Amino acid sequence: MQTPAITTPLSALIRTTLFVRDRQRAKAFYVALGFTELYFEGVLEHPSASLVLGFTEVSPYPVTILKVPGPNMGMLGLFELPHSTAAQPPKTGAAQTGEAAQIFYVADFDSVLPQLKAAGASWLPEPITFELGHFKHREICLRDADGFLLNLIERNPEDQHLSGPEMPFTPLDGLIKP
């Protein structure tokens, strides 16, 4: 198979990796969300797996990489690192400066939210109706059992294939032109 010519210097987001306390529990949660395909599962034992994360002590650790059906992008890695005194307590409640949120389109809140609660969602307020310009939809922020923030938007998941802005806007600075 021949590699295609490079047309852009950056790919779409290939994978987000979460460093979790209990990989099996996290796996059940994200399978309930819709990550139903297993891309890889095993134990990373080569020293490079520890060194790339900045660890000076080499230690094997189990990983699971999940994906939704389709291309190998937007995948989710669940890495269970060896027990460490540096582990942070799970975050709770509303978004905080310095953290990121995973954002997903979900076809039907009424079917997925009870499954996420049963799979260990640690913070699950009621959905709100979010309005922006010409559209409005139900949206919710919640946390998984490890305290990672998710933002779910009730919208056709196929809309992920749209390209370009969906409404006119004025940039806040001149760094990138629309």
User: pLDDT band at 37, cuts 50/70/90?
Assistant: very high
User: pLDDT band at 1, cuts 50/70/90?
Assistant: low
Does the reported pTM lie above 0.85? yes
Please compute Rg for the chain using Cα positions.
18
Q: Is residue 55 part of a domain?
A: yes
d(CA 51, CA 112): 37
CATH of residue 19's domain is 3.10.180.10
Q: Is residue 164 part of a domain?
A: no
Q: Is residue 3 part of a domain?
A: no
The confidence score (pLDDT) of residue 112 equals 94
Q: How many domains does the chain have?
A: 1
The model's pLDDT over 154-175, given as tens digits with 9 standing for 90+, comes to 999 998 888 888 888 888 888 8
Q: What angle do CA 57, 27, 92 make, to 5 degrees?
A: 80
On the question of pLDDT at 19 being above 80, the answer is yes
